[in-house]
Structure formats: C-alpha cells, structure tokens
Structure 1
Amino acid sequence: MNDGRTLSQGGRPRLRLRHRADPVELGRIRRQIAGWAQRSGVPEDVTMDLQLAVGEAVANGVEHAYGADDEGTVEVDVEVRDQPPAAVVVRVADHGTWRTAPTVTGYRGRGLLMIERLAQQVQVLCSPGGTEVCFEIRYPG
C-alpha cells in the first residue's frame, strides 16, 4: 500500500507515505524516513527526533483511530523547509474516529507529550474525516 513517493516542491525534498494502520508498518515508516532524511541533508540528531515523533503520531493512529475490524490507513507527509529557521515539517493523518483519552492512563498516553517535547508548532486537528497531527522540528540550517 505504501507509495513512498519522494517529491520536490519548490526545490524542497518531500516524502509522502501511505501505509496500513498496522503496528508492523512502524519499522518500515521509520526506515523510509531515515533514508529520506539522509538524502535530504537532515542532520542525524534531527532524524532521530523525527523518527521518534513520527512513530508516536503513527502509533496513535494505528491504535486509536480504527476498530479491531477496520482496515484503515495512516499517511505521513514530510518536507524540508529551508528558510530560517530550517525545519522538517510533518503531517501524520488517519481517517478514523477520534476517541477521548482515558482520564487514568497508567504507563500509557505519553505520545503527544513526547511529540510536544521534540517538536514545535504541534497541532492536533480532529474532524469527522479523521485526525491530523502536524508539527515541525527545527534545526540550524
């Protein structure tokens, strides 16, 4: 299902992924991001933060957006913004249904907090058509 297209928009490297909402896909997504980031000149430490933040956003979509019998998808769009401050700009989307987080999370429920610590301009946009998590990770460029 993954198209793994690398595009260039206005000279900026861009990666578009679409995967089944399945935990098995997380490793593949992280590897594709690592390869894209290396080809795009993204610093290694930023790449590690990017993989972690995207992995958390995708995991939320995989776990929370769809019911057990749904065959949903997650989409990942990543691009480099060159103008200062340089950043990797990310959009992770699902087409499932937002579910309110439980009040007692135990050892879980830290994915969005982790993304907020790693990234800037974090937004979670919920609609009847799904959820989008958008953020950027800045770096000296």
Structure 2
Amino acid sequence: MTGPTTGERAAPPPEFRRRVTATAEPLIELRRALARWASALGIAVELQEDVVMAGYEAMANTAEHAYRDGQAGVLDVVATMRNGRITVVVTDHGTWKPPEDTHGLRGRGLLLIRGLAHESEYAQRPDGTTVTMRWNTAGDR
C-alpha cells in the first residue's frame, strides 16, 4: 500500500479491536469489519480470506458454544499486524456449553482454523476461552 502522493509505503491500519454480544446477529458486520481491516493491510487476497474465515469461525464458535442456558455474554476480537505477522485473538468469558449431538455433521471448526492459520492455539479457562491465530505475511508456515 503506498501513499497517494509520496509513493512511500503507508503504515498498516491500527490494531483492530471490537467487543460484541456473542450472538449470531452482530457477527455479520464484525466479519465485514475484519475483512476491511485485513484488506487495508495490503497483503495477498488469499491470506486476507484465510484471516477472515478463521477469525469468523472462532467468533461463530463463541456465539454457539460459550454461554450456557441463554446467558448473555460478549466476545472480544483483537487483530494486529506487527513485524510481518498477523495475529487474531478471539476471547469469550463464558463457561462453554457442551455441543449437541450432530451425528458427525458438525464440530469441525477448530480443524478448519488449524488448516487456515499458520499457527493456532486454543486455551480454555474457568472464566472463558481464547483462540489465537497467527499468519506470516510472507506465507511461510
């Protein structure tokens, strides 16, 4: 990405930080906002798509699994690019509800995230869950 008149490389956008209600409705706009942020980084389109799809999958998992018994909750998304590395962190503050039996037709979200991210970590705590995903902008895994 270059500046409009100087030809110098523009600085990447500031860190992406959002907090939304952990329900399906706000996730559509949250995904769009993350896509705009990733696009502004000036990285390859395929890498942008991986970042957005993996981030959205982590958000959707939070909306579906983080909060029990209709309990209201939030999810936080923080995305940064520093030193050629993109990091997306999705955090909830719920206690995780067990998945319903889907006869093997679902339950592949973390596998998808692992396939899209160059690195991923999943940390479950008594006060919530955090999924951290990382990509090298050079494409090296």
Q: TM-score, normalised by structure 2?
A: 0.81
Which one-letter code corresponds to 2:47 in the other structure? V
Root-mean-square deviation (CA), in Å? 2.1
1:62-77 equivalence runs, <5 A: 62-77=63-78
Q: How many residues align?
A: 128
Residue equivalent to 2:128 = 130
Which one-letter code corresponds to 1:37 in the other structure? A
Residue equivalent to 2:16 = 15
Contact 1:12/1:81, CA 8 A, preserved across alignment:
no
Note the C-alpha offset of 1:37: 1.5
Any unmatched runs of 5+ in structure 1?
A: 1-10
**Structure with greater strand share of residues:** 1
Distance 1:12 1:28 in 2: 18
Distance 1:69 1:97 in 2: 12
Residue equivalent to 1:8 = none
Residue equivalent to 1:111 = 109
Residue equivalent to 1:57 = 58
Contact 1:13/1:40, CA 8 A, preserved across alignment:
no
Q: Look up the SS of the partner of 2:24 in the other structure.
A: coil
Distance 1:116 1:61 in 2: 16
Note the C-alpha offset of 1:13: 3.0
Change (3 A) 1:106 1:96: same
Distance 1:87 1:105 in 2: 38
Any unmatched runs of 5+ in structure 2?
A: 1-11
Instruction: Please identify the structure whose Cα radius of gyration is greater.
Output: 2
Contact 1:119/1:138, CA 8 A, preserved across alignment:
no
Note the C-alpha offset of 1:44: 1.7
Change (3 A) 1:12 1:38: closer
